[in-house]
Amino acid sequence: MPSIYRCQIELHDSLYFATREIGRLYETEPIIHNYALCYALGLVDSAIYSTTVAEEDSYRYFCPEQVPKYEQHLTALNQQGIYVTPGRSISHSSTLNTWKYANNNYHVEMEKTQKNIPSFGRTKEIAPESKFEFFIISEKSLKLAKWIRLGKWMSKAELTTEEMGNGDNRKNGDFIFPYLLNPLDVMFSHQVLSYDVVNMPPVSLIQNIKIRGQHYQFENLRIPACMEYRFRAN
C-alpha cells in the first residue's frame, strides 16, 4: 500500500520564477508546479530514491544545455511509484523589486548615443515566511531533507512532512479536491467534471476541481489515486 504524506514549505528567502510576463513585469504566481517540486525535493535522478536516468539525460548542478527533460526525468519516478502534487499557498505575501542592467562590452567604439534610457524590469516575488502545502504519494517510505531550494534564485525553504497513513482506505466516486492538480496526470485515470485553469508553464494546472474516480479518503480530505506523470494529451 502506498504511503501518503502531507508536506508544508515555509520560505526563508523570497521566491521568484516567471509565471507570466506583463511588459517589463515578471510575476510569480503563489503556486509551485509539481515538476518544480520534484527537482527541489531531490527526487530526480537520485540513487537514494532509485530514480537515476541515462547518462545523456543526467540532472546535475551544471547542465551543459538548458533543455528541459521532464519526460526522461519524471518517468523514473513513475517506475518507483512516487508522485508529488502541485503546491498551493496556505498564506503568502508579495514583494515588488526593480532591477536594471547595462551593456558591458569589453570593447566599445565611442559613438554618440541617441538616447539615455536605462534597461530595467520589475519582479513580483513571493515574500519570506509564506507557506505552501502539497502531497506526496509513494509506494516506498520516503525520508526527505529538511531544507530545500526553490525558484530562479535557489531560495532557501524549510520542509516539514507528516505521514497521513497508507492507501488501504481507497474509495470510488465523485468528490471535490480543494488543492491543485496537473490535468495531464489525472485525466487518463479519472473523469474531471469541473475545474478552473491556472495558466503557468510548462503545463497549466487546475483548481476548484470536481472529479470522479478512485481516491484515498482521510476524514474530510480526498486525494486522487492512480496519478502518474504524463506528457501528452493522447
Most confident residue range from 17-21, 22-26, 40-44, 95-99: 40-44
168-207 residue pLDDT tens: 788 999 999 999 999 999 999 999 999 999 998 899 999 9
pLDDT of residue 219: 84
Regarding beta strands 119-126 and 87-91, do their DSSP bridges make them parallel or antiparallel, or are they unpaired? unpaired
CA–CA distance, 67 with 21 (Å, rounded to integer): 20
Whole-number pLDDT of residue 139: 94
pLDDT at 61: 63
Closest by CA to 157, choosing from 44, 24, 42, is 42
Q: Specify burial of residue 38 (Cβ count, 10 A radius: 0-12, 13-18, 19+).
A: buried
